[in-house]
Amino acid sequence: MTDLVEQDTRAMSVAVTKSRYQSEEFSARLRRRYAAERRFRIAGMLAVGIASLMLVVLLGSIVSKGYTAFWQAQIRLEVTLDKQQVEERNYTALVRQALYAQVPAATDRATRRSLNDLLSSGAPYELEAMVNANPSLVGTTQTVWVRADDEIDQFMKGFIRRDVPESERRLNDVKIAAIDALVANGSIRSTFNTTLFTAGDSREPEQAGILGAVVGSALTLVVTMLLSVPIGIAAAVYLEEFAPKNRWTDLIEVNINNLAAVPSIIFGLLGLAVFLGFFGLPRSAPLVGGLVMALMTLPVIIIASRVALKAVPPSIREAALGVGASPLQTVTHHVLPLALPGILTGTIIGMARALGETAPLLMIGMVAFIVDIPGGLTDSATAIPVQIYMWADSPERAFTERTSAAILILLAFLILMNGLAVFLRKKFERRW
Amino acid sequence: MQLTVLLIILALLTVIGYQMGRSRAVASVGGRIVELHSVPSYHGFYVALWAGLPALLLFAFWGASEGWLVMQMVLSGLPDRLVNGDAQSLGLLRADILNLAHGVATGREPDPEVVAAAERYLRLHALGDWSLLVIGCCVAIGGLLYARGRIDPDLRARNRVERTVNIALVICSLVAILTTIGIVLSLLFEAIRFFAVVNPLEFLFGTHWSPQMAMRADQVGSSGSFGAIPLFAGTLLITGIAMAVAVPVGLMAAIFMSEYASPGLRTWLKPILEVLAGIPTVVYGFFAALTMAPFVRDVGNSLGLSVSSESALAAGFVMGVMIIPFVSSLSDDVINAVPQSLRDGSYGLGATKSETIRLVVLPAALPGIVAAVMLAVSRAIGETMIVTMAAGLTANLTANPLDAVTTVTTQIATLLVGDQEFDSPKTLSAFGLGLVLFVVTLTLNMVALRVVQKYREKYD
């Protein structure tokens, strides 16, 4: 652009006589053209800006919604582990008595009943687990910190506002007064939310964790990897190195390209009809999820591997063949090792996509509510993205927070995988 | 358990077989390796293949047929009053036996015969697993001994091993075809069952979608109504909105990055778009439902418009954002493929950069860009999570982007999630929709690939 301006001014200084380059009309047109140029450039910048802005907004909104989920409010109780009560396994009563002791002002039944809601419904089980782990505690008085109910947690984090009228608030005045009393004597604290990382799903937000989904995703990915990586690389090697050019291999090629663009939910329908309906494999199992994901990532891996194989120069093959290697030896000893970084990069990207995929898993029933951590390939399980989908549907405010936290965990995994892919690409990048 | 043991034993035997074949081959020529037809390691692979492959094939065959076989044996031992039912009650019986065997509560008091059958099922299963373990080991050891006995300096071990590997490679490359066949067949079979109940013309051209089937025949709306036009319209509306966002932004971003941006800026911008492409769709869905939809609603309300809380606009916009990197990276490739000589020619005539891009580069890259847009459209049509989470479930026949609409993929997802019987028109209709979705996206992809093939490298 600047070059043109310089040329123009030079042209003008040389041509002193009136030429059409100096005419009013010409300079007006030039201005218009330069303005159009600027507008076009700005439009380009705007497009890139919008894309970056959306990324920032997206990540910002999820981080701002989710970071609080890593903290959880706990309530301190001085529990007297009465021998008789423990033998009757009446931990609920034990926990409640201890709570009433913390708030001496609460004496009437109605107040005490709303006090009961302050604790997580899992609190008695926490106590029970503690006693079971250490039976010598029976008969003593112990200071324990138990999880607070999710609404108390949300109140402590400031998501339930105190200044709205009581009728529109999730917490009534009695509870808020009780919380204030507990805060005043230091009986409420906020700690790192370990439950989020160590528990399975739950209907109660404060007891819900992501571990079951993480294990389910890991099992699914293991099946996907074991199937799609060897098959994908073998298919790519065949198509790129051995296949004759004929109608059959053309058909295979067209097929692979088409499969790469088939909507993921169709693969879910395939899994439902074939693996569940025809082969009778169990519903909700990581085995079936992995099979479906393997079929889905296969074209991605084949295409990436073929590109990597194609990048290996023919001279290397010719040299190997020249010293008497068989075609298979040429590939396994020389071509594949050189193409492996590229194949690995493509594979990791394919796995990352499989990790984030949700729709096919909904079709094969991995959307079930499962509390237990899956122990094997045929156990009922769920996966991280499906867990996100399920939590996103839950009405409690605390689940919104946990959904965002689960998304952050998923994104962390994805960034790790993609980072690894980029690292491998950079490390093994080579020019021939 | 036995299967895991068998796999471990097989792995061990193949390793042992490799070592055995290798050392025996070396020993057979007294250490003078040159006298062997194949390198010793090929003799090793030869024995290893014989040890592992037959047993593995047996294992695969058993795994595919075991459940059916055992069930048939169990059913043949049951009294006639249980087995002599129609296909449906037989299916129920099978499910009951399986549930009992796996300890899943059925909620019903089981028939003592069925309980016995479940026990027999478990017994036969265990027997089958044990016999597979024994037979598998025998086959593997037999194969190993056979191959070991054949080791000879003249054995063409390399040719045999390579032929086997070649066959394996061909089989692997056929998996893609098998997948396609599986997709087509599974969609077709279920869709045909659906079209036996619902007239295909009514399905494709009806304007009322309400797939609820009544439990009893006399209930209101007992028949359900399967006119898919509102779903197609909703899908088109959301796809249109997504394209209106993705195509201009993606294309301009690609132009900016390939023509204007300095290499330094490019190394920053490219990863940003790549991150946008790598975010899972469920995250976009969550963002659309929780952040974008309320935002659109609030803005609309402040302008005096009535916006539904699950609007097509919010879902479409977020989907557009999701597709931006797809459009931009594909167009980037095409724009970069336009030869520099064309640009230089244009500059030589005194055109500005933007004039060159608009009048020379873009027309030259047009086929590729058209193909990219088509692929993007097919992607938008097939996208599930964003619309499922943010677009609503009401089948509206509307062109108003502020209304809630539903799409084909949303309906497939909602029809098949949860406890459903798998032979009612309601669930089968999902396969009808899946077939339409598959055909439409396949057509778009084919056309796009054809366009690229036909016009590629025209300037080289």
pLDDT of residue B111: 73
Chain B partners within 8 Å of A272 (Cβ): 186, 416
Q: Please give the torsion angle defined by the CA atoms of residues B174, B180, B184 and B185, in that order, rounded to the nearest 10 degrees.
A: 30
pLDDT of residue B419: 61
Q: Residue B418 pLDDT more than 80?
A: no
A84 in Cβ contact with B286 (< 8 Å): no
Alpha-carbon span B210 to B264, nearest angstrom: 55
The helix or strand, by DSSP H or E, that contains position A155, with its residue range, turns out to be: helix A150-156
Contact B286 A33 (CB under 8 A): no
Alpha-carbon span A49 to A72, nearest angstrom: 37
Across the range B270-294, mean pLDDT stands at: 90
pLDDT of residue B222: 52
Identify the residue with better confidence: B337 or A280: B337
Chain A partners within 8 Å of B449 (Cβ): 254, 257
Contact B176 A234 (CB under 8 A): no
pLDDT of residue A109: 79
Interface check A206 vs B, CB under 8 A: no
Interface check A227 vs B, CB under 8 A: no
Contact A265 B269 (CB under 8 A): no
Chain B partners within 8 Å of A4 (Cβ): 350, 352
Interface check A33 vs B, CB under 8 A: yes
Q: What is the mean pLDDT of chain B?
A: 85
Mutate to test the interface with A, among B171, B194, B284, B286 (most CBs of A within 10 A): B286
Q: For the range A55-64, what are the long-range contacts, defined as Cβ-Cβ under 8 Å and sequence gap of 24 or more?
A: A55/B272, A55/B275, A55/B276, A57/B291, A58/B279, A58/B283, A58/B284, A58/B287, A58/B321, A59/A411, A61/B287, A61/B290, A61/B291, A62/A404, A62/A407, A62/A408, A62/A411, A62/B283, A62/B286, A62/B287, A63/A404, A63/A408
pLDDT of residue A317: 94
* DSSP symbols for A175-229: HHHHHHHHHHTT-EEEEE-THHHH----SSGGG--SHHHHHHHHHHHHHHHHHHH
Q: Residue B459 pLDDT more than 80?
A: no
Across the range B132-139, mean pLDDT stands at: 89
Contact B446 A61 (CB under 8 A): no
pLDDT of residue A62: 92
DSSP B212: -
Q: Residue B158 pLDDT more than 70?
A: yes
- Report if pTM > 0.80: yes
B316 in Cβ contact with B237 (< 8 Å): yes
Contact A359 B437 (CB under 8 A): no
B53 in Cβ contact with B19 (< 8 Å): no
Nearest CA in chain B to A299: B176
- Among B residues 369-408, those touching chain A with beta carbons less than 8 Å apart: 375, 378-379, 381-385, 388-389
The per-residue pLDDT string of chain A (432 residues; one tens digit each, 9 = 90 and over) reads: 455 555 555 555 555 556 667 788 888 999 999 999 999 999 999 999 999 999 999 999 999 988 888 888 888 888 888 788 777 878 888 888 888 887 777 777 777 777 788 888 888 888 888 888 888 888 888 888 888 888 888 888 888 888 888 777 777 787 888 888 888 888 888 889 888 898 888 888 888 889 999 999 999 999 999 999 999 999 999 999 998 888 888 888 888 988 988 999 999 999 998 888 887 778 888 999 999 999 999 999 999 999 999 999 999 999 999 998 999 999 999 999 999 988 998 899 899 999 999 999 998 888 888 888 888 888 888 999 999 999 998 888 889 899 999 999 999 999 899 888 888 888 887 776
Interface check A410 vs B, CB under 8 A: yes
Alpha-carbon span A84 to A167, nearest angstrom: 41
Interface check B430 vs A, CB under 8 A: yes
Contact A414 B278 (CB under 8 A): yes
Across the range B66-89, mean pLDDT stands at: 74
Of A44-53, A282-291, B3-12, B226-235, the poorest mean pLDDT is in B3-12
Tokens of A249: 């291999």
Identify the residue with better confidence: B249 or A98: B249
Q: Residue B269 pLDDT more than 60?
A: yes
pLDDT of residue A205: 85
Interface check A269 vs B, CB under 8 A: yes
Percentage of chain B with pLDDT > 90?
Answer: 35
pLDDT of residue A301: 94
Tokens of A191: 């700690």
Amino acid in the structure at residue B213? M
Amino acid in the structure at residue B394? T
C-alpha of B188 from chain center: 16
Of B94-98, B121-125, B133-137, B201-205, the poorest mean pLDDT is in B94-98
Interface check A367 vs B, CB under 8 A: yes
Tokens 């471990």 correspond to B8
Dihedral (CA of B298, B304, B305, B307) sign: positive
pLDDT of residue A17: 55
Contact B375 A4 (CB under 8 A): no
Chain B partners within 8 Å of A46 (Cβ): 252
In the three-class reduction of DSSP (H, G, I as helix; E, B as strand; rest coil), residue A142 is classed as strand
pLDDT of residue A227: 93
B417 in Cβ contact with B177 (< 8 Å): no
Nearest CA in chain B to A403: B286
A191: left (phi over 0), alpha (psi -120 to 50) or beta: beta
SS3 content of chain B, % helix, strand, coil (to 5): 75, 0, 20
What ipTM goes with this model? Answer: 0.88
Alpha-carbon span A6 to B130, nearest angstrom: 89
DSSP H helices, A331-378, are 336-356, 359-363
- Among B residues 296-315, those touching chain A with beta carbons less than 8 Å apart: none
Interface size between A and B, measured as CB pairs under 8 A: 259
pLDDT of residue B347: 93
pLDDT of residue A312: 92
Nearest CA in chain A to B183: A270
A261 in Cβ contact with A194 (< 8 Å): no
B40 in Cβ contact with B95 (< 8 Å): no
Interface check A274 vs B, CB under 8 A: yes
A234 in Cβ contact with B170 (< 8 Å): no
